[in-house]
Structure 1
Amino acid sequence: MHRIVYCRRVKGGDCYSTDPNVTYTSEEAEKAPLPSTIDSLITEFGRMLIIRCLRPDRITHCVLNFVTHNIGSKFVEPPILQLNTILEESNKRSPLIFLLSPGVDPAPKLQQLAEDKMMAKSRYYTLSLGQGQAPRARKLLEAGMKKGHWVFLANCHLSISWLPELDKIVEQLQTAAVHSDFRLWLSSSPTIDFPISILQIGLKITNEPQKGIKANMKRLYELITPEQFQRVKQDEKYRKLLFTLAFIHSIVIERKKFLQLGWNIHYTFNDSDFQVSENLLAIYLDAYDKTPFDALKYLIAIVIYGGHCTDEWDMRLLHTYIDSYIRNEILEVTYYKLSSLAYYYMPRDGTFKLYKDFINSMPTTDHPEAFGQHPNADIASQIQESKTLFDTLLAVLPQKSSATVEKEVENEVAKAASEMLKLMPHQVDIAAVKKYMLIDTSPLSVVLLQEAERYNTLLLNITTALNDLLKSIEGLVVMTVELDELFKCIYEGRLPYAWQRTYQSLKPLPAWFQDLRQRINFFNSWIESQRQPIIYWISAFSYPTAFLTAVLQRTARKDQIGVDQLSWEFEVNKAEDKYLSDTDDGVYVNGLYLEGAGWDRKQGMLCEAKSMELVTLMPTIHFRPIEYKKKLTRGLYIAPCYYSSIRVGSFIVAIELKTGSMPAEHWIKRATALLMNLDN
């Protein structure tokens, strides 16, 4: 963390400075007093700019406060969904469109409304769209328009090919003879394929679920009737395991708020998963005197919730949660702790009301530890939310401006493009690489050649695009769509998508360009030295999997064994890198960052991260190929290593790290992983 000094000039030129650590480290930095007399000198918007620089994770809270103070709280508080009121505002020609949010199903409330309006028995029809449902939907609409039915077509996003026909039907609604009681209800997840004309004509409804473990558990217990609560013979077991199921479901749903530290992939877990699990629990408890925990774990973790998971590391996390809560201790240990926090535990068994009262006593705001997460996980996800906020603001900025402003923007972009061309590294000398390959005949030299060719292609594309852009600004060539996008990216500091085809990166354009120059320097120094590096900067490789495979191939040739018989052994270096020397027993690798944990260099093991330390640079690691054998994993955490912080699709290798004083399950819930590249 850099020390920041606030300075204010007064008479005589004196300068007063204050260390802003109090503001920087405050849990609610947007409310903390600013150093010296700054508070009295700036507006609320000015304070927001300072918080933007010091604590980007708190900027969304600043924005909420700013909106509340200046235009009113109604713009930040979601209204309560009142279908009765919406129905009164609707008419027979305008569809009512539910924009679906994860975990929210409007069908039960709509069914209840239909019953209240005496439409449910023979005048309310619902159909979930999908393959082969178009003819039935067409018939329902034709009958509904004539007889005044309510027709609910759910999940329109699953029938994209039929939406153009639905668009025509809605268009005909505007002029055709339609029964006055007819209402067309639609539901769809957000998709770019949904017809714009339907959205323009229709009444849009969205209802996001209440957030938090407490809110989710309250909602789940509303789905259970008092009779259902008493239906199982082994009633105490059922009540305790039901509470556990509700807690698991709430954890699984709410964990998505941690973004990349939550789930690698965004899954649509919903209340039906809980209801099926609850029904399964009741059946098994009635069928067996001894609780079949293994069967319950398998069906809940693998079949019901696991049926959503397509990522092996997400599946490992789900298994860890299920193993932590579906166990005999839940039934036998009084006040069994569900978290390291004091207020999450198994309540004393009792009536339906007792369990609901206990849920009402739970905290409204969830601490990250409730999920097994470090407080830093909240900060990381809030920084990402702030980035999304600013990206959205940039996207909605007006594109038109005065000629003077446009000229200034063009000059800025031209200056930035010229500077990039001036600093552009030279292409890697392919002839020198091929000459080096005569000296080094190992598979690593082939990887070097492949990397050189990829980077040369990238450098050529960048140089060509920048030169064309400069010509376009001068009016010498036509400004194409691609050049216009490049113009915007340079002005906004964004990395153009076309330049990410060689390797994925989330860095802003200036940081990415600096990183690119360092990568080229790494490969040039390798070629110029005419020898393999002692330490490999693994992040420099655009395709590190090929590099690691080449290391395995080198060992396989040396030891005369098959590559498929080799696996990895890892040793994190405790000494300084200057003491390392050449080795043909694997490779030394650096450039990896640890996310979700800290690293005790002296002990060579995982430890808790310091507050606000989101990533830790790992020491050099020795990747040593060994003949495959069943290894003991006790005391080891298998950390997935990803190419970037967008974990889905960027997995490279699994690295074993010593767990330290905590078990591996602790770090699994922390989503601890290694990253090759950061976002800044």
Structure 2
Amino acid sequence: MPRLEQICENFTPDNTTRDFRLWCTTYPSPVFPVSVLQNGVKMTIEPPKGLKANLTGSFSTPPIADEGFLDSCGKGVLFRKLLFSLCLFHALLQERRLFGPLGWNIPYGFNASDLEISIQQLRMFLDENESVPFAALKYCVGACNYGGRVTDAKDRRTLNSILDRFFNDGVVAVDNFSLSESGIYTIPPSAETLEDFLAWIEALPLVAEPEIFGFHENANITKDAKETNTLFATILLTEGGGSSGGASSNADDAITSTATEILNKVPAEFDIEAARVKYPVRRDESMNTVLVQELGKFNNLTKLIKSSLISVIRACKGEVVMTGELEKFGHALEIGAIPSAWKTKSYPSFKSCAAYVADLLARLEFFGTWLEDKPPNSYWISAFFFSHAFFTASKQNLARKDAIPIDALGFRYEMVPPAASAEPPTVGVYGYGLFFEAARWDGDAKLLKDSYPKVLFSPAPLMLFEPKKIDRICHPPGCYSCPVYKTGDRRGVLATTGHSTNFIMDILVPSDKPESHWIQRGTALLSQLD
């Protein structure tokens, strides 16, 4: 691998950006991304964009481009097949970042050094063993070289699932082995020289279809939407802060109007004392405690919303000083974003301000009905600030009733028709309000199916969460362990459990396809949409 000084030794301030981008294509970055200072110019080198360009870069740089390297292994044919498969695997991991949370919950900086050490290990393992030691290779590549960067448990599952597709017996035993469903991406059947590989890569499509990544065709829409949102967010950041007096007056009027409208919609706080009287702490009903805790959190949020709206209205009228914090608050209302001040006491949300307020009012109505009437037959899972407490309480009722340690309990999941919620279940709870991303539920077949074209999200059915002893839970074969997240971003702070704080739980969903199919598609359940 050439050092950065070698890559950039001829770079001067007179070179154009286009010249430098061409060098970046020829020499993939050994660190992703990396900033270097050369002749007083700071440059950031990133991997070539596109699967084809990434493969070309891998086969155009050392060690693969070194003379005689392709023949340096005693098992030349096997080595060349697995080498191409490994390079395609490397390119695929880097390109999945473009698809946002569908690709990785957390974007990782996989780089050329990961590929280089994997190539050296591949050659060493082939030279030292009569047969291909796939288990050892997968461990070194998937758990150490690339997996060492992965911090999210679900991302690690995705990486290993992809690796299984590129490191298997078919790659070495079948000529022209297909690495994608369409058959476009295959192992070169007779490539022996570097020129053969480059010619094979040159014949690949310039733009890679989502199927090579394991995605549904809808993934292109997700990728384009992500890029568009990033562009508009960047444009908003470049918006100037200065304005004329007339424009400022118009902005103040718009902020006042928006703030007043929201203020009139937000209801009064819940009566916590009345809630504690009606739903006291009881050993046999842990859900009472969850309700009171949720009402307290929503009271804190609504108090903050009201006080901040009143303050910004008074500031726009000139009754109080327009501080920098209030100015940022008003600007957020003006562009339709959730004010950052609200996020300190709010549940996670990436909605616009109008959609956030509508969602908040719906949650308040759900808990208000529960408080005034009785516990619902089915629960809106998305309404809870802390849904983990809701699921824990549903298990705790059974644990206390039957004197079972709560750690010994799990959930049996069942998709049920909407009519089932006419009465509450004997054991457990009914839950609704989740959405499938990158999949849909087929109510007739009662199986998880691929999404319809151009339909990114589909509602999940009513679900029964039945707590049972873990050793007695029986699910039908072929279920997909589908992760449930609070938001579509899927990313959160890494908790001590090894999961993201955005992660809620895994739900087993019946499927007639292998689990790897849904893992590589990035299929998940979301409690709310953006």
Partner of 1:209, secondary structure, is: coil
Decide whether aligned partners of structure 1 residues 592 and 106 sit closer, same or farther in structure 2, where only a CA change above 3 A counts: closer
Letter in 2 for 1:621: M
Residue 559 (1) aligns with residue 411 (2): no
- Could you tell me how far 1:551 is from its partner in structure 2? 0.8
Partner of 2:90, secondary structure, is: helix
Alignment correspondent of 1:676: 527
Between the aligned partners of 1:270 and 1:579, the Cα distance in structure 2 is: 51
Alignment correspondent of 2:93: 252
Between the aligned partners of 1:631 and 1:323, the Cα distance in structure 2 is: 27
Letter in 2 for 1:583: P
Alignment correspondent of 2:237: 395
Alignment correspondent of 1:663: 514
- Could you tell me how far 1:334 is from its partner in structure 2? 2.0
Between the aligned partners of 1:534 and 1:440, the Cα distance in structure 2 is: 19
| Residue from 457, 470, 477 that aligns with 2:300 | 457
Residue 647 (1) aligns with residue 493 (2): no
- Could you tell me how far 1:639 is from its partner in structure 2? 0.5
Alignment correspondent of 1:214: 52
Letter in 1 for 2:466: R
- Could you tell me how far 1:439 is from its partner in structure 2? 8.6
- TM-score between both structures, scaled by the size of structure 1: 0.71
Decide whether aligned partners of structure 1 residues 228 and 536 sit closer, same or farther in structure 2, where only a CA change above 3 A counts: same
Between the aligned partners of 1:458 and 1:564, the Cα distance in structure 2 is: 32
Residues 572-622 of structure 1: per-residue CA shift (max 9 Å, x gap): 11x233653122411000000000112101111111111110100111111
The answer to whether the Cα contact below 8 Å between 2:413 and 2:463 also exists between their aligned partners in 1 is yes
Alignment correspondent of 1:522: 366
Between the aligned partners of 1:511 and 1:88, the Cα distance in structure 2 is: 50
Q: How does 1:175-194 map onto structure 2 within 5 Å? A: 186=37
| Residue from 103, 121, 125 that aligns with 1:262 | 103
Letter in 2 for 1:508: S
Alignment correspondent of 2:151: 310
| Residue from 211, 229, 232 that aligns with 1:369 | 211
Letter in 2 for 1:525: T
Alignment correspondent of 2:498: none
| Residue from 329, 333, 350 that aligns with 1:506 | 350
Residue 285 (1) aligns with residue 211 (2): no
Residue 333 (1) aligns with residue 333 (2): no
Decide whether aligned partners of structure 1 residues 596 and 474 sit closer, same or farther in structure 2, where only a CA change above 3 A counts: same
- Could you tell me how far 1:633 is from its partner in structure 2? 7.2
Residues 553-572 of structure 1: per-residue CA shift (max 9 Å, x gap): 11111221000000111101
Between the aligned partners of 2:26 and 2:427, the Cα distance in structure 1 is: 51
Alignment correspondent of 1:75: none
Decide whether aligned partners of structure 1 residues 295 and 103 sit closer, same or farther in structure 2, where only a CA change above 3 A counts: farther
Letter in 2 for 1:585: V
Decide whether aligned partners of structure 1 residues 219 and 406 sit closer, same or farther in structure 2, where only a CA change above 3 A counts: same
Residue 296 (1) aligns with residue 148 (2): no
- Could you tell me how far 1:217 is from its partner in structure 2? 1.0
| Residue from 487, 490, 494 that aligns with 2:330 | 487
Between the aligned partners of 2:54 and 2:421, the Cα distance in structure 1 is: 55
| Residue from 436, 440, 445 that aligns with 1:598 | 440
The answer to whether the Cα contact below 8 Å between 1:213 and 1:251 also exists between their aligned partners in 2 is yes
The answer to whether the Cα contact below 8 Å between 2:377 and 2:421 also exists between their aligned partners in 1 is no
Partner of 2:243, secondary structure, is: coil
| Residue from 400, 405, 411 that aligns with 1:568 | 411
Partner of 2:412, secondary structure, is: strand
Residues 486-520 of structure 1: per-residue CA shift (max 9 Å, x gap): 10010000001221233110000001001101101
Q: Unaligned regions of 5+ residues in structure 1, if any? A: 1-80, 91-96, 109-153, 157-184, 188-200
Decide whether aligned partners of structure 1 residues 461 and 202 sit closer, same or farther in structure 2, where only a CA change above 3 A counts: farther
Alignment correspondent of 1:276: 117
The answer to whether the Cα contact below 8 Å between 2:28 and 2:47 also exists between their aligned partners in 1 is no
- Could you tell me how far 1:350 is from its partner in structure 2? 3.2
**Bigger radius of gyration among the two:** 1
The answer to whether the Cα contact below 8 Å between 1:447 and 1:550 also exists between their aligned partners in 2 is yes
The answer to whether the Cα contact below 8 Å between 1:577 and 1:620 also exists between their aligned partners in 2 is no
Between the aligned partners of 1:651 and 1:578, the Cα distance in structure 2 is: 27
| Residue from 203, 217, 236 that aligns with 2:41 | 203
Between the aligned partners of 2:30 and 2:393, the Cα distance in structure 1 is: 55
Alignment correspondent of 2:12: 86
Between the aligned partners of 2:310 and 2:421, the Cα distance in structure 1 is: 46
Partner of 1:571, secondary structure, is: strand
- Could you tell me how far 1:628 is from its partner in structure 2? 0.8
The answer to whether the Cα contact below 8 Å between 1:104 and 1:270 also exists between their aligned partners in 2 is no
Between the aligned partners of 1:106 and 1:527, the Cα distance in structure 2 is: 58
Q: How does 1:134-149 map onto structure 2 within 5 Å? A: none
The answer to whether the Cα contact below 8 Å between 1:585 and 1:624 also exists between their aligned partners in 2 is yes
Alignment correspondent of 2:480: 637
Residue 436 (1) aligns with residue 288 (2): no
Q: Unaligned regions of 5+ residues in structure 2, if any? A: 1-6, 493-501
Between the aligned partners of 2:483 and 2:71, the Cα distance in structure 1 is: 44
- Could you tell me how far 1:476 is from its partner in structure 2? 1.4
Which fold has the larger relative contact order, with Cα–Cα distance below 8 Å and residues 6 or more apart in sequence?
Answer: 2
Instruction: Say how many residue pairs are matched.
Output: 502
Partner of 2:268, secondary structure, is: coil
Alignment correspondent of 2:496: none
Partner of 2:458, secondary structure, is: strand
Residues 39-87 of structure 1: per-residue CA shift (max 9 Å, x gap): xxxxxxxxxxxxxxxxxxxxxxxxxxxxxxxxxxxxxxxxxx9863525
Letter in 2 for 1:596: A
Alignment correspondent of 1:616: 458
Decide whether aligned partners of structure 1 residues 240 and 631 sit closer, same or farther in structure 2, where only a CA change above 3 A counts: farther
Residues 359-399 of structure 1: per-residue CA shift (max 9 Å, x gap): 11111101000101011111012112211211221221222
Partner of 2:454, secondary structure, is: coil
Partner of 1:84, secondary structure, is: coil
Decide whether aligned partners of structure 1 residues 460 and 323 sit closer, same or farther in structure 2, where only a CA change above 3 A counts: same
Stretch deviating more after TM superposition (299-308 or 382-391)? 382-391
The answer to whether the Cα contact below 8 Å between 2:430 and 2:463 also exists between their aligned partners in 1 is yes
Between the aligned partners of 2:422 and 2:140, the Cα distance in structure 1 is: 50
Between the aligned partners of 1:270 and 1:451, the Cα distance in structure 2 is: 44
The answer to whether the Cα contact below 8 Å between 1:102 and 1:269 also exists between their aligned partners in 2 is no
Alignment correspondent of 1:129: none
Partner of 1:623, secondary structure, is: strand
Between the aligned partners of 1:251 and 1:277, the Cα distance in structure 2 is: 15
Between the aligned partners of 2:197 and 2:25, the Cα distance in structure 1 is: 26
The answer to whether the Cα contact below 8 Å between 1:645 and 1:678 also exists between their aligned partners in 2 is yes
Letter in 1 for 2:508: E
Q: Percent identity?
A: 33
Residues 257-306 of structure 1: per-residue CA shift (max 9 Å, x gap): 11110000110000111110110011111111121111111111101110
Partner of 2:10, secondary structure, is: helix
Measured on the aligned residues, the alpha-carbon RMSD in Å equals 2.4
